[in-house]
Structures are given as C-alpha cells and as structure tokens.
Amino acid sequence: MIDYEDLNRRYAIDESLDVLPGPADEPVVMIRSEHGKACVSLHGAQVLDFTPTGSRPVLWLSDQASYRDGVAIRGGMPICWPWFGPHPDDSSLPSHGLVRQRRWQLCGSAELDDGVVECRFCLNDDAASRESWPHAFELQFIVRIGQYVDCELRMRNTSEDTVTCSAALHAYIAISEAEDVRVRGLHGRRYLDQVTGTTGTQKHAIIFDGETDRIYQDTDDIVYVDDPGYGRTVVVAKSGSRSTVVWNPWIEKTRALADVPDDAYHRFCCIEPANAAADARSLAAGAQHRLRCLIGAEPYGFSIEDLRE
Ligand code: BG6
C-alpha cells in the first residue's frame, strides 16, 4: 500500500509538486514550474510527460502502454540499466536491464532559485535484482523541470568488485510525422546498424524511411530533431555519454510491439543518450558514473551556435 499522505507530507511543494495515484495505481509525481509541467512515474522512475509552458508535449507516450509491475512503460523516457538491449548471455532476462520495470523510491524534492523544480528517485540492489545481476548498486535519478527537462542517472558500484554497466536514457521524442523530420548533429559519426549488423558513417541528417536502429559511437554531440509539422526543433544534449542511439521501429516492428498502435511509428523517434556497446563503463568498487541528458523545444532550425553569436 502506498501512503500518499506520508509521501506528500515529505515531498510535496505548494503548487509545484505532488504525488498522486497514476495509471494502474502506480504513484506519479506531478511537477509544475513556471517553465513547464511534467509527470514522473515511480515505476521505473520514468518521465512520462514533459510539456514546456506554451508548447506541446516533447515526449511521446503510448496510449496502450502497460503500467503493470514487471513490465516497462512504452514511451516517455525509460531508464535502461545495467545492460542495453538484450542481455549479452542470457536471453531470458529482460531487454534493457532491470530497473525500468521496478518501483523506485521518491527520495527528495526541492524548488531551486530559478523556478526549476527538482525531484530525486533511488533504487538499490535487493534479492530480486541480484538474481539477474549479482552485484550491489545504488542508483539515483534526478529530474529537474525548467525550460528543459534535465535528467541525471547516478550509478554507484557498492560491490567489492569492478563491474561493467551499459545504460541509456531512452527518450521517445514526440514528432508530427517520422517521414518529415530530420535528425541533425551526427554527421561524420560512425554507427553500428542494429538492423543489418553492419557499420557505417552518417552523412548529413538522418531521414526515417525504414526501420532505423543505430548506435552512434564516439559522440558527445547535441542532437536536433527538426520537425517542420510542429514548427520546432527538439534539442537533446548530454554528458557522461559517448554513444547515442537513434531508433524508429517503422511498420513491421511496430506491429510486433504489443503496447503501441500500429501507426505509432509516425509519431515518435527515440534519441537515447547512452553508454552502449564500446561505451559501456567499467566502475571500480565504490566508483560512480553520471549519465545526464537535457531535452527541450526550440524554434524550428535552432542550433546551439545561434546562442554563441
Ligand atoms: C532501442 C533499441 O533502444 O530500443 C532497439 O536500439 C529496441 O533495438 C528498442 O528494439 C525497444 O526496446 P524494447 O525492449 O523497449 O522493446
């Protein structure tokens, strides 16, 4: 049983943050700041919505998503950890690790000076996690709602051995039409193509005209999703990451997904700041790594260079 009164006594902030029962009775944290609003589920500490003031939602969430215990919510920003994609040696383990389908603890909230609202979520290893991944860990996920949604995954190895972790902040970006958007910022970067099993080098912008599933390597670039239909550019910036995954399942793969409408591939593309493939991180006993991403909406055609002029 969730004690909402107790959670709100500890973490609610007048007019800015409260904890409510969400879909399937999973608690959600509702955040409102002068800059925008957001909703974060304790299930997976998953950001489900981020809508800047005066704009449309930046993240896509499936209206057929499942919120059941043990299942990952389709959309928003799932946290993939401590492996990315299928488990390297055990196909019976869930895709993308073991924390997006678990309930996290809400463990902090604050209103910062510039009107930004912050909340913190925690998850530690337990008997169930050690069955799939036999290591002690402490995770913290910090979400700050300002003009951008600013998310930071702090992963600490509390075991006595060195461990290797992969991760991704698997953002489903809401778009007007996949065939019309262009994904800028990765020109010249090498990628692993997970559809064909080959490698390639990106030329110019990414255009979606078929299943796209690539791990871009050696990149800390800002990625821009230019969306003429919505008249905006969604900006994805990051730190603690040298890999970025770009995914659109297109027609057949979407049909095979149980929790999305068949035409959903038109309306999202995933841009995922990651520690994937060769960018997996080795953490010595006691070491911490931080993976951070910032996502926001700007006028169509925006580049960070515009701010430097
Ligand atoms: C992407 C992967 O990050 O997530 C794809 O690159 C995968 O290969 C997709 O299909 C969705 O994964 P899941 O486990 O949420 O269905």
Per-residue pLDDT of 214-224, as tens digits, reads: 999 999 999 99
Report percent pLDDT > 90 for the chain.
96
pLDDT band at 307 (very low <50, low <70, confident <90, very high): confident
Q: Which atom of ligand 1 is nearest to the CA of 168?
A: 3
Alpha helices in 257-304 (DSSP H): none
Distance 34 CA to ligand 1 centre (A): 34
Q: Does the pLDDT value for residue 162 go beyond 80?
A: yes
Residue 151 vs residues 99, 121, 124: alpha-carbon distances, Å: 16, 11, 18
- Identify whether the C-beta of residue 301 lies closer than 8 Å to the C-beta of residue 233: yes
- Which residue lies with its CA nearest to atom 5 of ligand 1? 213
Tokens read off for 287: 């070491």
pLDDT band at 309 (very low <50, low <70, confident <90, very high): low
DSSP-derived 3-state class of residue 10: helix
Catalytic hit among 96, 135, 170, 266: 170
For residue 267, which of 180, 179, 175 has the smallest C-alpha distance? Answer: 175
pLDDT band at 245 (very low <50, low <70, confident <90, very high): very high
The mean pLDDT value for 56-79 works out to 96
Q: Which amino acid is at 26?
A: E
Q: What single-letter DSSP state applies at residue 104? A: P
Cα–Cα distance, 248 to 237 (Å, whole number) = 19
The strand pairing partners of 72, in sequence order, are none
Known catalytic membership, residue 34: no
How many H helices and E strands in the chain? Answer: 4, 23
> Other CB atoms closer than 10 Å to residue 309's CB: what's the count?
5
The mean pLDDT value for 196-206 works out to 98
Cα–Cα distance, 54 to 230 (Å, whole number) = 13
Q: Does the pLDDT value for residue 9 go beyond 90?
A: yes
Q: Does the pLDDT value for residue 199 go beyond 80?
A: yes
Predicted local distance difference test score (pLDDT) of residue 13: 98
Q: Which atom of ligand 1 is nearest to the CA of 80?
A: 3
Q: Does the pLDDT value for residue 68 go beyond 70?
A: yes
Query: Which of 83, 270, 293 to mutate for ligand 1's pocket (most ligand atoms within 8 Å of CB)?
Result: 270
Q: Which atom of ligand 1 is nearest to the CA of 249?
A: 10
Alpha helices in the chain (DSSP H): 4-11, 127-132, 250-256, 305-308
Q: Is the bond preceding 23 in cis, omega lying within 30 degrees of 0? A: no
Identify the residues whose C-beta falls under 6 Å from ligand 1. Answer: 72, 85, 95-96, 170, 194, 213, 245, 247, 270, 272
Q: Which amino acid is at 265?
A: Y
Computed over every residue of the chain, the mean pLDDT equals: 97
Exposed, middle or buried: residue 267 (CB in 10 Å: 0-12, 13-18, 19+)?
middle
